[in-house]
Amino acid sequence: MDRIRIVGGSRLEGVIPISGAKNAALPLMIASLLTRETLTLENLPRLADVRLLLRILGNHGVDHAIAGKRPGESAISGQTLHLDAKNIVDTTAPYELVSRMRASFWVLAPLLARMGEAKVSLPGGCAIGTRPVDLLLMALEKLGVGLDIEAGYVIARAPKGLTGGQIVFPKVTVGGTHMALMAASLARGDTVIHNAAREPEIVDLADCLIKMGAKIRGAGTSTIEISGVTSLGGARHAVLPDRIETGTYAMAVAMTGGDVFLQGARPELLQAALDTLTRTGAEITSDSLGVRVRRGGGRIHSVDVMTDPFPGFPTDLQAQFMALMTRADGVSRITETIFENRFMHVQELARFGAKIHLEHDTAVVTGVPTLKGAPVMATDLRASVSLVIAALVAEGETTVHRVYHLDRGFEQLEQKLGACGALVERISGGD
Ligand code: UD1
């Protein structure tokens, strides 16, 4: 297993290109199952999760081709992927594949919509508390799907096709909204999703489905209306920039000090996080080409945050923000409202000398003047990058173990940070 070695102390200066969003790329790729025609996705990030989902889709019979590098493109430019689900050969998604990535469970919706049946293993993914699928299944039941759970598999049937209905989510769920959008697009009649997730990735999926011929109104608001159509066609769609990657590097600059332009970033996708960073003392400006983050030599101010569904402060930036607060000039309270047990980074941050204690769903962080490098272990995707942020200012050397978590969601992290002056290297093999 690879490790990442970081020597702390360098300010970040330069340009970081922002990749396509993992959390948009995955549902967009899954949407290819809805049509017999080719779906072309541009600006696709090179990530382990994308490669794994290609394997899962391949198992169902989806062919894919990745376009070669075009003149003028750098190694970091997004890829163009053609997905062709003309013949679905298998409607089962096996445990071996689904257990490695929770989002792959979402194939259930398009398989049912197109084939009238699907058998999908209950999911795995990041170890961040219990992540049930009750609401995802409830949404499908509202569209006329019959469900059984047998030996760890969901067996779903809609032999006469899906029928539109009213879906009321008692809690905002991104995955539930993605699945409902895909299923309802091919259902007979009209569907209304109440209390829908408003995340930008939902809007990106809806935009792509509309290009494919779906009739969707209201994506980006909490009520989405869908009029089902009998079939969907091919489309070409560019994946939106990754707001979590943007926020992560913005926090890294706020931590180290310096001046970095996040090329291709769109500030409106993470306004709450950028406003919070401004309150910590970072200076943030933006133009049509991206977002610039600067911080001079002053102390980092402590700020309280609470995670919330979009447009609130994203749970996927909570760990990174906590890393920043370990060096702030006071006490910060960070409350996690989306996932229980999403504090596994706390004990690893403590290894740098951070002072954090937990009070139920709140981490109370008392800033310290210095962190010290240490061997640490990545536990999940977002937690692991918080360790990188801490390591960038820690005195001496840090080794982050289990970096496969990072590779799931951050494209070319060492290259991007290294190009801005960070001392980061990957060590292949070993534990
Ligand atoms: C997606 C994101 C993830 C992000 C999360 C919240 C992807 C690939 N992943 O995950 O990075 O952290 O949104 O913004 O886009 N819930 C239930 N029952 C269900 C489904 C969800 O109780 O059937 C709960 C979850 O446990 C959690 C909350 O609803 O407490 C939100 O989860 P959800 O929005 O569904 O997260 P994901 O779609 O899995």
pLDDT digits (tens, 9 = 90+) for 38-92: 999 999 999 999 999 999 999 999 999 998 666 666 656 689 999 999 999 999 9
User: How far apart, in Å, are the Cα atoms of 145 and each of 132, 139, 154?
Assistant: 19, 9, 11
Active site residue 126: yes
Average pLDDT value for residue range 177-182:
98
Is pLDDT of 418 > 70?
Answer: yes
Position 74 scores a pLDDT of 63
DSSP secondary structure, 152-215, as one string: TEEEEE-TT--B--EEE-SS--HHHHHHHHHHHHTSBSEEEEET----HHHHHHHHHHHHTT-E
Domain at 363, CATH number? 3.65.10.10
Is pLDDT of 130 > 80?
Answer: no
Residues 167 and 232 in one domain: yes
- Whole-angstrom distance, CA of residue 43 vs CA of residue 155: 34
Domain that holds residue 27: 22-238
Amino acid residing at 403 = V
140-143, long-range: CB < 8 A, 24+ apart:
140/108, 140/109, 140/112, 140/179, 140/183, 142/166, 142/167, 143/167, 143/180, 143/183, 143/184, 143/187, 143/191
Position 386 scores a pLDDT of 96
Return mean pLDDT, the chain.
94
Find the 128 Cα to ligand 1 centroid distance in Å. 10
pLDDT digits (tens, 9 = 90+) for 228-275: 999 999 999 999 999 999 999 999 999 999 999 999 999 999 999 999
Find the 125 Cα to ligand 1 centroid distance in Å. 11
Is pLDDT of 128 > 60?
Answer: no
Q: Give the number of the atom of ligand 1 that is nearest the alpha carbon of residue 382.
A: 11
Which strands make up the sheet holding 146-150, listed edge to edge?
Answer: 92-93, 117-121, 153-157, 146-150
Ligand 1 contact, 131 CB (< 6 A): yes
pLDDT bin (cut points 50, 70, 90) of residue 171 is very high
Q: Give the number of the atom of ligand 1 that is nearest the alpha carbon of residue 49.
A: 8
Q: What is the DSSP letter of 221?
A: B
Helix/strand/coil (H, E, C) string of 328-377? ECCEEEEECCCCCCCCCHHHHHHCCCCEEEEECCEEEEECCCCCECCEEE
- Whole-angstrom distance, CA of residue 149 vs CA of residue 132: 13
* Ligand 1 mutation target, pool 173, 270, 320, 344, most atoms within 8 A of CB: 173
- Per the CB < 8 A criterion, the answer to whether 382 and 406 are in contact is no
Residues 15 and 26 in one domain: no
- For residue 295, give both structure tokens: 């911080």
Residue whose CA lies nearest to ligand 1 atom number 15: 23
H/E stretch holding 225 reads strand 223-227
- Per the CB < 8 A criterion, the answer to whether 232 and 205 are in contact is no
> What is the pTM (predicted TM-score) of this model?
0.96
Residues 234 and 246 in one domain: no
- Whole-angstrom distance, CA of residue 134 vs CA of residue 144: 16
Ligand 1 contact, 170 CB (< 6 A): no
Find the 173 Cα to ligand 1 centroid distance in Å. 5
Average pLDDT value for residue range 349-359:
97
Q: Which of 270, 217, 205 is nearest to 24 (CA)?
A: 205
**Residue after which a domain boundary falls, among 221, 238, 255:** 238
pLDDT digits (tens, 9 = 90+) for 282-340: 999 999 999 999 999 889 999 999 999 999 999 999 999 999 999 999 999 999 999 98
Q: What is the DSSP letter of 396?
A: S
Ligand 1 contact, 409 CB (< 6 A): no
- Whole-angstrom distance, CA of residue 224 vs CA of residue 35: 22
Position 126 scores a pLDDT of 45
- For residue 401, give both structure tokens: 């173990």
> How many separate domains does the chain show?
2
* Ligand 1 mutation target, pool 102, 168, 174, most atoms within 8 A of CB: 174
Q: Give the number of the atom of ligand 1 that is nearest the alpha carbon of residue 135.
A: 23
Amino acid residing at 417 = L
Residues 201 and 313 in one domain: no
Q: What is the dihedral of CA 325, 347, 18, 209, to 10 degrees?
A: -110
pLDDT bin (cut points 50, 70, 90) of residue 131 is low
Q: Indicate which residue of 16, 30, 53, 126 is catalytic.
A: 126
Residues 61 and 90 in one domain: yes
Ligand 1 contact, 135 CB (< 6 A): yes
Of 146-150, 306-310, 391-395, which gets the smallest average pLDDT? 146-150
In the chain, % of residues over pLDDT 70:
95
CA 339, distance to chain mean position in Å, is 14
Residues 55 and 194 in one domain: yes
Is pLDDT of 393 > 50?
Answer: yes
Residues 77 and 96 in one domain: yes
Residues 194 and 218 in one domain: yes
Residues 58 and 175 in one domain: yes
Find the 175 Cα to ligand 1 centroid distance in Å. 6
In the chain, % of residues over pLDDT 90:
87
**Residue after which a domain boundary falls, among 209, 238, 267:** 238
Find the 176 Cα to ligand 1 centroid distance in Å. 8
Residues 285 and 220 in one domain: no
Ligand 1 contact, 177 CB (< 6 A): no
Find the 337 Cα to ligand 1 centroid distance in Å. 12
Ligand 1 contact, 167 CB (< 6 A): no
pLDDT bin (cut points 50, 70, 90) of residue 129 is very low
**Residue after which a domain boundary falls, among 175, 208, 238:** 238
Ligand 1 contact, 173 CB (< 6 A): yes
